Structure 1
Amino acid sequence: MNLLLSSNQHNIHQHITITGSKSESNRALLLQALYPTISIENLSNSDDSQVMQKGLQVHNGTVDIHHAGTAMRFLTAFFATQEGRDVVLTGSQRMTERPIKILVDALGQLGADITYEKNEGYPPLKIKGKKITKHQVSLAANVSSQYISALLLVAPTLENGLELTLEGKITSVPYIKMTLALLEEIGVSTSFNGNVISVNPLAKISEKTLVVESDWSSASYFYSIASLVEVGSEISIASYKATSLQGDSVLQEIYKQFGVETSFNKNVVKLKKVKEIPQETVINIDLANAPDIAQTIAVSCFGLGLKCELSGLHTLKIKETDRLEALKTELTKLGANISVTNKELFLEPSEIIKEKIAIDTYNDHRMAMAFAPLALRVPIVINDAEVVSKSYPDFWKDMESLKIKVQG
């Protein structure tokens, strides 16, 4: 499904309710599988969370998680620690190209039984669940935080808990802290001192309800829209917490640089465009702790004609696509002067080509959603637009409520 987006709207006042965070939901689902006395409210309606739910219910056989990278990492650790369960964990063609050796090796240190069905270091994985008694493991600190979170989530069910040593500079710390906070919320004792994370064992818990906050990554697209409309425009989004576990809540600070002010009224966040940004402004941000909003920020800068220097992006190479190369290709189509390295993006001020350009999405939900706000500047075609269902199935409906015309 390809969609043509266009808009002549420059002043927006609208309220949107966003589904629960995919990141929090998938962590909560895994904890619920380990501790069935947990119930979950405001669960994400994303494809990834549905895939996670289905995968957790499989006892023996093949588990296909399609494009869901979080599910691949979390379920690898889950099945490895489930005595008596025997599965093959696989996914889409792109998933079989995404490395998982670091996590498999770490689980191997603990005594897990995991073998590669095809290529060394990549899915599909043959996993035979067993009782894990070892409790000390180490891995590189600059890898995807999902490897680390996968280990931490299963840690309280291990006989002796877990002592995880991270080697080098730690990236994506907010996601690690999100995982630890959820463990603490259900009664697990944890510590994070220096580069060592400890999780104590916990056999069972009493009844507990986890309320999932709405997704800050999804909120980023509304911040982008707020940056591109007239001063005085307001968008309110629900349901959010002023003190969030999600790393992408840093959007509140980042988009001040774009003239967008954030305020809270109970669980509603109000985004207000309060000033225009001078063209000589340079947006320089290290996104090591929030790489998922890099595409949104780059597109916002391009739409506003601003110079942009983004760093800390090394994990984007192994996402649903190589997001840095994809950004370079698609923004160049629109007239951008852009260059990328393995961990940085540089954008020079440039004029948008004023003609209908088609944006390829590379099976990546964030490519589709990050480029959508540019419809406020120029008509734009989003190819394979249904990919948004991976994290935000209602996205196009919500775009229409903001007076962005969406034509199939």
Structure 2
Amino acid sequence: MLRIDSLRKAPNAELQLPGSKSITNRALIIASLAEGTTSLSRALFAEDTLAMIDCLKSFGISIEANQPMETIDVTGTNGKLDAPQDSLWVRQSGTTARFILPISALITAPIQVDGDAQIRSRPQEDLLRALNQLGVEVAYSGEPSHLPLTLNGSNLKVKDIKISGDTSSQYLSALLLVSPCLPQKITFTLEGNAVSLPYIDMTIEMMRSFGAIVEIDEPNTFTVHPTGYTGRDYEIETDASTASYFFAAAAVSQGRVVIDGIGENSIQGDIGFINILEQMGAKVTIGADSIEVSGQNQLKGIEVSMRELSDTAPTLAAIAPYCSGTVRVTDIGFIKNKESDRVSAVVTEMKKLGIDARAEEDGFVIEPGMPIGNVIHSYDDHRIAMAFTVLGLLAEGVVIDDANCVAKTCPEFYEHIDTLRLEGDEELAILAIDGPAGSGKSSLAKLLAQELQLEYLDTGAMYRSVAAEVIAANIDPEAYREVTQITDNIDISFNGQEVFVNAKNLTKQIRSPEVNSIVSYVAANPGVRAILRRAQRSWARQRGGGVLEGRDIGSVVFPKAKLKVYVTATPEERAHRRSLESGRDMKEILNEIQERDEIDSSRTDSPLSVSSNAIVVDTTDKTLSEVANEVLRNFNV
């Protein structure tokens, strides 16, 4: 469960959002089939792209991914792939499932493809029918036209293909992507009332940039020549679908948001969402490599077809209650077969918030109204979770039941959402105290909280609580996913000096030598830090401020705190203090402190450092009272 803290002030933010999922996954397919090496920059690292990378590696493709640098180097195979030894697991990624299936046409051996329950429920009939026309044999292990299934391209026969476009544009994109590696040219005719055509344009644009020849003979007829691909360096745009939530938040709150890495030459169809916002009254400024959206007045209602940018339909729904008139979205009946039935999901959850909403045959209608608080079911659908997060920025008491499903396309979504709250954080009475172990920050923070009549939060106890649960579950403290999952499910509360974890009093256990030995590894986990940072920020916002102590409070958690203090002391003095507290050998403690300092200062996520504008206080030769008085003088200025 994640409570969405509402905005205290309109946002004024410039954001660097992740790269596009659609572009990253297309680039991975093309690079894998290309001749030579491709270097992708600003690549997205999320569940959907990691699923694609894992599947492509199963074909013998060399892929070197550097997540901190957002780069991926792919050594292409020139269309000559190895048969996977094991079943391909696409997780919940519809893009991966659809883009991987046509690769079977290049391999003369059986390929098994499977995925999570959600992706198993989504039919792939039109794509599989087209592959059958090419001679690819398909055998189902369960329901026809659904995963799991086995494909065999040993009887490949290249011929012109007709494929329906009224369910998904990804079917044609998937076939187009593999076509330059077929032995002869092939023509595809898109039939029906095609949806999401800009995604097909994106596919063709990217294919051409890697050397493919694609002719568009008529509006819906595409001929691809057997040219293969040539590897190259390729920079990926910011994800336009993800950007839509932040543009919407700015427009509806009468704030301002600038997003870099996407601009006037974007190849993403979802960039069209800003045109809708402009029609509703927002101000939009498009540059070469950035887009700015600002809200001027209350947004107007609108009736709009979102057939070409359906992924942003839930985003528009999220701001619809705050508009001056009715919002009607049409031509999106096909989104009932996405990760969830998005039409039903939007309407159902709006009604839970007291909003008049109704489904129509090909869309939905939402009337103006002020949402009430309630728990939003995400349906394990990242678009629903993200959209209702935006709604919650202007309402009280909105809670998302499974917020982590955003990891499918934007794992750091809530970190970016917190950036929108920074202007409001300046109004909070926050005293941020950071420093290394044994520097005296806990004693200082407790005294200052008492003097200032503010509540106190020991963020270190939160990391220790997670470490205690990791030990209880007998899990490797460096196991990223498992430890992150524990953190997401943990309930930490405080009663005075006592710490309760899942209703159990663990005050003593979290200070044990066993916890001491692993807490640095737990605290270095980016997933753990992201979840606990959200909890720490929410704790302070609900109270209007507080005294928070830890290792990244001023630098990361509350960079706009009223006062930031960095408390330090010599390692020997810190070890001496800990020895007096515990009765343990000072040399042993000194070794632990030095090891902890090294881990804390060198971790990639939120390393221990002196925050900008922080006052530095060396407590080595000072009494607690002297240090407290110095801090109070600065806080009360």
TM-score tier after normalising by the smaller chain length: over 0.9
CA deviations 1:95-146 (Å, max 9, x no partner) are 1110011100101101112221111111111122437341311112312000
- After TM superposition, the structure 1 = structure 2 runs for residues 360-371 of structure 1, keeping only pairs within 5 Å, are 360-371=377-388
Identity of aligned residues (%): 28
Aligned residues, how many? 398
- Residue 388 of structure 1 corresponds to 406
Equivalents in 1 of 2:391, 2:304: separation in Å?
21
Q: Equivalent of 2:139, from 111, 115, 133?
A: 115
Equivalents in 2 of 1:113, 1:241: separation in Å?
43
- Residue 167 of structure 1 corresponds to 191
The question of 1:274 aligning with 2:296 is answered: yes
TM-score by length of 2: 0.60
- Residue 244 of structure 1 corresponds to 266
Equivalents in 2 of 1:42, 1:138: separation in Å?
35
User: 1:197 offset after TM fit, Å?
Assistant: 1.0
Of the structure 1 ranges 50-59 and 2-11, higher mean CA displacement relative to structure 2 is found in 2-11
TM-score by length of 1: 0.93
- The structure with more radius of gyration: 2
- After TM superposition, the structure 1 = structure 2 runs for residues 229-378 of structure 1, keeping only pairs within 5 Å, are 229-230=253-254, 233-277=255-299, 281-304=300-323, 306-353=325-372, 356-378=373-395
Cα 1:8–1:57 change in 2 (3 A) is closer
Q: Equivalent of 1:146, from 148, 154, 170?
A: 170
Cα 1:294–1:204 change in 2 (3 A) is closer
Equivalents in 1 of 2:150, 2:90: separation in Å?
14
User: 1:384 offset after TM fit, Å?
Assistant: 0.9
- After TM superposition, the structure 1 = structure 2 runs for residues 17-166 of structure 1, keeping only pairs within 5 Å, are 17-37=16-36, 38-58=38-58, 59-78=84-103, 80-130=104-154, 132-166=156-190
- Residue 181 of structure 1 corresponds to 205
3-state DSSP of counterpart to 2:4: strand
More helix by share: 2
Instruction: Mark the runs of 5 or more structure 1 residues left unpaired by the alignment.
Output: none
Cα 1:305–1:67 change in 2 (3 A) is farther
Equivalents in 2 of 1:302, 1:116: separation in Å?
45
CA deviations 1:313-346 (Å, max 9, x no partner) are 1221111111111111111101111111342111
Equivalents in 1 of 2:235, 2:109: separation in Å?
29
Cα RMSD after superposing both structures: 1.7
Cα 1:141–1:374 change in 2 (3 A) is closer
Equivalents in 2 of 1:305, 1:333: separation in Å?
21
State the one-letter code of the partner of 1:12.
P
Equivalents in 2 of 1:195, 1:344: separation in Å?
25
Instruction: Mark the runs of 5 or more structure 2 residues left unpaired by the alignment.
Output: 59-83, 426-533, 539-637
The question of 1:219 aligning with 2:243 is answered: yes
State the one-letter code of the partner of 1:198.
T
User: 1:398 offset after TM fit, Å?
Assistant: 0.8
State the one-letter code of the partner of 2:210.
I
3-state DSSP of counterpart to 2:259: strand
Equivalents in 2 of 1:253, 1:310: separation in Å?
15
- Residue 199 of structure 1 corresponds to 224
Cα 1:364–1:305 change in 2 (3 A) is farther
3-state DSSP of counterpart to 1:367: helix
3-state DSSP of counterpart to 1:377: coil
Equivalents in 2 of 1:384, 1:376: separation in Å?
17
Equivalents in 2 of 1:323, 1:11: separation in Å?
28
Equivalents in 2 of 1:97, 1:190: separation in Å?
33
Cα 1:391–1:33 change in 2 (3 A) is same
Equivalents in 2 of 1:234, 1:257: separation in Å?
17
User: 1:305 offset after TM fit, Å?
Assistant: 5.2
Cα 1:143–1:42 change in 2 (3 A) is same
